[in-house]
Structure 1
Amino acid sequence: MLPSQLSSGDIIADRRADYAKMLAESGEPASAAELMEQALELTPGWAAGWFTLATYREKAGNTQGAIEALNQVLALDTDDIFGARLKLAVLGAAEMPDQPPSRYVERLFDDYADRFETSLVEKLGYSVPQKLAALIAGTTSIPPHFRLAVDLGCGTGLFGPEIRARVDRLEGFDLSKGMLAKAADKGVYDNLGQADLSLPPPSSGIFDDGLARGRANLIAAADVLMYLGNLESVMTIVAELAASSAVFAFSVEDAEEGEGYLLRDSLRFAHSEAYVGATLAAHGFVVRNLVRSVIRMDAGKPVHGFLFITQKSV
């Protein structure tokens, strides 16, 4: 159950949900689903409970039952903080959205903030910030030092320490306030702010508080674009942020096929090299370096992606 939605408000329903979780963890998802159904008979308005039921039903092989539960989630939660539409798309019951709901991404990382670095770095072998910083340093056609760098989707601030020595000023932006609080604790950012990269520049928050357009010499997005299918909004933001000849360094998961992007079972988007390249060119960026690399592990398997070093054409 999600940390922000632990209780249904009914003691008996919560107890049944707890037993259901125990059954699911012991490899009995069908029995877990039956107990969750009983809990939801007592609390039919519990959106998180319906989402959990969908998870159990899917694991038990009851795809249609999972779809029905997810549709119930959407009926109760119009903001879709659980990402039910994304899951329906993965199950083939809805069209793939261009982007995930902002409230889903915000809630996901607010709930994940306290354990983010332990889970991602220590357990999943995540090393994109270090790899991206090394690639920036190793690309001979770009400057060795930057006046102002902007870390888009900065999260807990893993990229900041990797680049701090090479920049005069460092700004970080993220949708999750929980993540921003963790980044602030590192003490390496000169400015941190909340922003939504799925929105066009006037609404994104990147230019609030009088922050200028065209101010950044380096823009980074480490493990961020996986939460944005269509990259048009974020590339518009990047283009407006970028000073002349600015560097844009980022990672994407490799779609491995096609010329667009796709939604994976992880509810993360993967992008083709061709799609990213065309989007960059449309916004005036030239690829200076490109490396295919393992981004992290998922269920014991490597997730492959691309690390891009690009530069705004003069």
Structure 2
Amino acid sequence: MQQSQFSSGDVIADRRADYAKMLDEGGEADAAAELMEQALELTPAWAAGWYRLATYRERAGKVGSAIEAYRKTLLLDPEDIFGASLKLALLGDAEMPEQPPSRYVERLFDDYAARFETSLVEKLDYSVPQKLAALLAATGRKYSLAIDLGCGTGLLGPEIRARAGRLEGYDLSQKMLAKAEEKAVYDHLAQADLSLAPEACGVFADGAEYRADLITAADVLMYLGNLESVFAIVDRLAAASADFVFSVEDAGEGDGFHLAPSLRYAHTEAHVRGLCSRYTLEVIETIKTTIRQDGGKPVAGILFLARR
């Protein structure tokens, strides 16, 4: 997220914050923090500024004072659009949230929409849509209704359009949906919050009872943490023999999920298999693969093909 776009409302404070950002980018996090503190003396109620101060202090190794600044951010921003609660959990000051704040995820992707595909595909070697499409192609099936959950800018849509009679996409970010609309491959696009129960999530806003024979979720579940809500949505959507293809970040051995330093969640294969079993989905195939690069390092993931 680009906190720098949120002005303090004070020209001098903004100027100091800009200099602080330059210092941080130059590897001088300690000096950046000091200058950011001066900016906040002028604008003490600037939530975005406190978040930036927290990140500078954290990079400077001042964990205790970083925690104080993240707490202040959360106090000034109860909706937590900056994800301060996630940072506090990673720093050991709070329990791991089972879900990230919806406003944080929405704002994150609204900010990211304009450069999303360039960053993800060209710079981070993202190939999950093609890999999920290959899983589906191997089944040889055609689908009457496909629902793309967390469709984003619609990267998966063109890969599966030929296999679906009707294709619908749902996402939390309106700006991502606008980008998906430009591709002209979806028959219907709408906003939905997959962290909510089916009756509140927005997928069923018109009261319709869907019977989809394909449901997809490409690189979505790592922004959900606890996956009960999304599996409940899939359970209500899925017709008999429906396919559900999706990806997760691989948490390795064990049975559960955790919050990673990236502020995304990673899930174990055993945990996801358990969810599939509880929601009457048979796992047909799994593939362990690199799903993107992050900081120059490969991110391990698991692709699933499950069937009702």
- By the TM > 0.5 criterion, same fold? yes
The reply to whether residue 188 of structure 1 matches residue 216 of structure 2 is no
Equivalent pair of 1:3/1:111 in contact (CA under 8 Å): no
> Who is 2:124 aligned against?
124
Equivalent pair of 1:4/1:111 in contact (CA under 8 Å): no
> Who is 1:302 aligned against?
298
Distance in structure 2 (CA, Å) of the matches to 1:4 and 1:249: 37
> Who is 1:260 aligned against?
256
Identical columns (%): 67
> Who is 2:98 aligned against?
98
The reply to whether residue 201 of structure 1 matches residue 198 of structure 2 is yes
Equivalent pair of 2:145/2:167 in contact (CA under 8 Å): yes
The reply to whether residue 178 of structure 1 matches residue 175 of structure 2 is yes
- CA shift, 1:5, in A, is 4.2
3-state SS, counterpart of residue 45 of structure 1: coil
The reply to whether residue 70 of structure 1 matches residue 39 of structure 2 is no
TM-score norm. by structure 2 comes to 0.98
Q: What code does the residue aligned with 2:151 have?
A: C
Task: Report runs of 4+ in structure 1 exceeding 6 Å deviation.
Answer: none
The reply to whether residue 144 of structure 1 matches residue 144 of structure 2 is no
Task: Return the match for 2:243 from 240, 247, 260.
Answer: 247
> Where does 1:74-93 land on structure 2 (aligned, <5 Å)?
74-93=74-93
Once the two structures are superposed, residues 209-250 of structure 1 have per-residue CA deviations (whole angstroms, 9 ceiling, x without a partner) of: 24323x210000000000011110100000000011100000
3-state SS, counterpart of residue 242 of structure 2: strand
Distance in structure 2 (CA, Å) of the matches to 1:7 and 1:156: 27
Q: What code does the residue aligned with 1:73 have?
A: T
Distance in structure 2 (CA, Å) of the matches to 1:207 and 1:6: 34
Equivalent pair of 1:297/1:303 in contact (CA under 8 Å): yes
Q: Where in structure 1 are there 5+ consecutive unaligned residues?
A: none
3-state SS, counterpart of residue 79 of structure 1: coil
Q: Where in structure 2 are there 5+ consecutive unaligned residues?
A: none
Once the two structures are superposed, residues 265-294 of structure 1 have per-residue CA deviations (whole angstroms, 9 ceiling, x without a partner) of: 000000000000001100000001110000
The reply to whether residue 293 of structure 1 matches residue 299 of structure 2 is no
Q: What code does the residue aligned with 2:102 have?
A: S
Equivalent pair of 2:3/2:52 in contact (CA under 8 Å): no
Distance in structure 2 (CA, Å) of the matches to 1:42 and 1:161: 50
The reply to whether residue 228 of structure 1 matches residue 224 of structure 2 is yes
> Who is 2:42 aligned against?
42
Q: What code does the residue aligned with 2:306 have?
A: T
- CA shift, 1:3, in A, is 5.6
> Who is 1:281 aligned against?
277
> Who is 1:155 aligned against?
152
The reply to whether residue 21 of structure 1 matches residue 17 of structure 2 is no
Distance in structure 2 (CA, Å) of the matches to 1:150 and 1:12: 49
> Who is 2:54 aligned against?
54
Distance in structure 1 (CA, Å) of the matches to 2:263 and 2:133: 26
3-state SS, counterpart of residue 98 of structure 1: coil
Distance in structure 2 (CA, Å) of the matches to 1:305 and 1:164: 24
Q: What code does the residue aligned with 1:206 have?
A: V
3-state SS, counterpart of residue 206 of structure 2: helix
- CA shift, 1:110, in A, is 0.4
Distance in structure 1 (CA, Å) of the matches to 2:4 and 2:27: 25
Distance in structure 2 (CA, Å) of the matches to 1:12 and 1:24: 18
RMSD over aligned CA atoms reads: 1.0
- CA shift, 1:2, in A, is 2.5
Distance in structure 1 (CA, Å) of the matches to 2:288 and 2:116: 24
Q: Figure out how many residues of one structure are paired with residues of the other and give that number.
A: 308
> Who is 1:30 aligned against?
30
Distance in structure 2 (CA, Å) of the matches to 1:195 and 1:272: 26
Distance in structure 2 (CA, Å) of the matches to 1:233 and 1:241: 12
Distance in structure 1 (CA, Å) of the matches to 2:71 and 2:206: 40
Equivalent pair of 1:51/1:84 in contact (CA under 8 Å): yes
Change (3 A) 1:256 1:56: same
Q: What code does the residue aligned with 2:166 have?
A: R
Distance in structure 1 (CA, Å) of the matches to 2:297 and 2:161: 32
3-state SS, counterpart of residue 64 of structure 1: helix
